[in-house]
Amino acid sequence: MQIVWTRQAEESFNRVIDYLLDAWTSREAHNFIVLVEETIHQIKGNPELFKASVFDEETQEAVITKQTSMFYRIKNKDIIEIEYFWNNYRNPKYLKSSLKE
């Protein structure tokens, strides 16, 4: 399966990494990157492993850490699109509009 990242996914991922580097250490940033890579590997093996998002039925939600979730969409048998990384402490009313950008 091919993994494709949207612009929003890249930007939101980079915001998480920037925050971890600013507020914590490079170790936490590295650990987050490893968790994302492991999650993507799991998704490649079983695209429907994670639950459907309550915000969009066509999007799956993978909890990376208690603070961050990754949203992705199964485009077809060969493509998985990473859509967005979300801070789980933010107001969820803003998430739906973020997924649709």
> What confidence score (pLDDT) does residue 57 get?
84
Domain regions of the chain by residue span: 2-100
pLDDT tens for the chain, 101 residues long, are 899 999 999 999 999 999 999 999 999 999 999 999 999 999 999 999 999 988 788 899 999 999 999 999 999 889 999 999 998 876 565 665 665 55
Q: In this structure, is the dihedral angle defined by the CA atoms of residues 79, 98, 48 and 37, taken in order, positive or negative?
A: positive
> What confidence score (pLDDT) does residue 85 get?
95
pTM score of the predicted model:
0.87
Considering the segment(s) 2-100 as one domain, its CATH architecture is 2-Layer Sandwich (3.30)
